[in-house]
């Protein structure tokens, strides 16, 4: 079990659906991250939130829309996804975005399949 | 650009010692992290190095040479549960963002 909780664990959706991925941490971390991981590939950074503000968007398509309602929660809203978006979506958090000795702690991920 | 290299696969025997190497060429450097990831699970933080030298944490040790752009993860007294992918990641910007290597799949056999 990790201290970063992601729901749902699995999600199957059609290309016209709208769904949301949720991430929660109660470690007092002020930086939160979304990563995308394809099979047998490393995680690829999508978004970084620092103190509830979007700090980094790695040129992610607008069909992915992040939201940080408060310091403990991070959402990823999905709309009109493509089959190639099928992947494991990982959420991570760290104490702060700008310190140096702050490892990221990952959730177990949501395995997303687009039909 | 960013370039982080690790061997794709390694095999070792239970009880042995294995060293997983990582070389990097990145535009910036603010630390190197090692993560373990079992199939279908989250990456788990193992170790990090910011300064040159060896960091030891139980059965795991990590070494860094910034001048050579080189790190290794040393696993001692290997156990079957150590079979996993080991990811080398460089913090290359002011934020705690990580660029990951492709990972080394370690298979521990009896």
CA distance, residue A14 to nearest chain B CA (Å): 23
Q: Find all residues with CB under 8 Å of A64, minimum gap 6, and list them.
A: A46, A76, A77, A78, A85
> Which residues of chain A are within 8 Å of residue B87 when distances are taken between CB atoms?
42-43
pLDDT in tens, A21-68: 999 999 999 999 999 999 989 999 999 998 999 988 888 999 999 999
Taking CA–CA distances from B9, the nearest residue in chain A reads A40
Q: Find all residues with CB under 8 Å of A1, minimum gap 6, and list them.
A: none
> How would you classify the pairing of strands A110-114 and A10-13?
parallel
Q: Please report the DSSP string for A79-105 in residue order.
A: ES--GGG-EEEEEEEES-SS-SS---E
Burial of A45 (0-12, 13-18, 19+ CB in 10 A): buried
pLDDT over 90 for what percent of chain A?
Answer: 72
Residue B26 CA from chain centroid, whole number: 16
> Which residues of chain A are within 8 Å of residue B101 when distances are taken between CB atoms?
42
pLDDT in tens, B78-100: 999 999 999 999 987 766 678 89
d(CA A110, CA A89): 5
Which of A44, A55, A101 faces B95 most closely, judged by CB atoms? A55
pLDDT score recorded for residue A62:
95
The confidence band for A2, taking pLDDT boundaries of 50, 70 and 90, is low
pLDDT over 70 for what percent of chain B?
Answer: 96
When pLDDT is averaged across residues A96-112 and rounded to a whole number, the result is: 81
Is the pLDDT at A97 greater than 70? The verdict is no
pLDDT score recorded for residue B26:
84
Give whole-number Cα distances, A5 to A21, A95, B60, in Å.
11, 16, 26
The confidence band for A113, taking pLDDT boundaries of 50, 70 and 90, is very high
pLDDT in tens, B20-69: 999 999 888 888 999 999 988 889 999 999 899 999 989 999 999 999 99
C-alpha dihedral, A67 to A68 to A73 to A77, nearest 10° = 0
> How would you classify the pairing of strands B98-100 and B60-65?
unpaired
d(CA B10, CA A106): 25
pLDDT score recorded for residue B84:
97
State chain B's mean pLDDT as an integer. 93
């Amino acid at each position: 079990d990790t201290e970063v909780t992601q729901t749902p664990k699995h999600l199957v959706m059609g290309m016209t659906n709208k769904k949301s991925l949720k991430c929660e941490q109660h470690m007092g971390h002020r930086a939160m991250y979304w990563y995308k991981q394809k099979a047998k590939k490393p995680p690829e950074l999508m978004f970084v939130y620092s103190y509830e503000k979007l700090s980094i968007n790695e040129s992610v398509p607008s069909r992915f829309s992040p939201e940080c309602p408060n310091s403990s929660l991070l959402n990823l809203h999905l709309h009109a996804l493509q089959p190639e978006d099928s992947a494991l979506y990982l959420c991570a958090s760290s104490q702060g975005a700008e310190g140096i000795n702050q490892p990221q702690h990952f959730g177990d991920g949501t395995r997303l399949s687009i039909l | 650009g960013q370039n982080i290299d690790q061997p794709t696969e390694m095999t070792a025997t239970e009880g042995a010692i294995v060293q997983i190497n990582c070389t990097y060429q990145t535009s910036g450097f603010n630390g190197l992290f090692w993560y373990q990831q079992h199939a279908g699970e989250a990456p788990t933080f193992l170790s990090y190095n910011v300064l040159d030298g060896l960091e030891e944490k139980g059965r795991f040790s990590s070494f860094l040479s910034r001048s050579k752009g080189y790190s290794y993860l040393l696993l001692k007294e290997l156990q079957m549960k150590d079979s996993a992918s080991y990811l080398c990641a460089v913090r290359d910007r002011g934020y705690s963002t990580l660029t990951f290597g492709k990972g080394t799949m370690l298979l521990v056999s009896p």
